[in-house]
Structure 1
Amino acid sequence: MSADRPAIRRLPLDEAALRRYAADLWLPYNRDLADAVAAHDLADWPAERFIERHVDFSRDRLEEAGSRGWVAATAGDGADDAEVDPATADVTDPALDLVGLLMTSVDECPDPFDRPDRLVIGEIYVAEPFRGTGLAERFVERAAADARD
């Protein structure tokens, strides 16, 4: 997998992976969102407090049935593709750059309604250098495949 086509993979639920996800993806995503939409302003906290608070929140959310977290990873600048495979390397590997996130959950259909359960995309984010590369479309395809499964 080359640096120009990030690997999409499940977000592990271990502490180190969730911390990296929160620092490298969730916080930048929410800062971008706050810059674009005033109703999404963030508290005036240091980055570490956001990260600490989000690790437990993410773990709890992702342990719910039907919830999934996905990250897109690529070999970072200076990393040789032969040294690190973004599809299999540990998410915490410093040779990886995390460049996108996708969070999904299942919206179960209540009994009175005649419709199937739905997979809902709760969050999708692509880091600036990878916008316009088709990564968001690949995330949506990943969500559609997950919904079919």
Structure 2
Amino acid sequence: MKRFHIHLAVDDLDRNIGFYSTLFGCEPTVRHHDYAKWMLDDPRVNFAISNRSAKLGLDHLGIQAEDGDELQEIKQRLDATQGRIETQEQAACCYMRSDKYWITDPQGIAWESFHSLSEIPTFNDQKAPSDGENPFACRPSESKASSCCGG
């Protein structure tokens, strides 16, 4: 069964963790110094926040597949939109390794369709922003100025 995904960029991670933990009635499923995620069953959503982006608010939306077959079913629907799709295999982002398909909707909102394969110990495979590297390499090429993730 698929899960809706929402990722928000926030300014104060701890304050937002407190707010969303109260709103959802539970603590995050995953928590790091720069990222938190709630895997909720009611409603069935993967809700993530991070403080890695200069632009606050909605970062991207998505659909998380339970397995590779379900991801391919989503990919067929993406193909039918005739939009530009970016494929990322074994992408490292948001402390997970995932296969992904990115597309941008007519309003310019990035949509991530993904199947998470395994946990990883880092946010992504890039160096920290202070090292001068782009920390958002998991985003589609047309949206790299923003943040990343799925997980």
TM-score grouping bracket, smaller chain normalisation? under 0.3
Q: Pick the structure with more helix per residue.
A: 1
TM-score, normalisation: structure 1: 0.25
If you compute each CA radius of gyration, which structure gives the higher value, 1 or 2?
Answer: 1
Q: TM-score, normalised by structure 2?
A: 0.25
User: Counting strand residues as a fraction of each chain, which structure ranks higher?
Assistant: 2
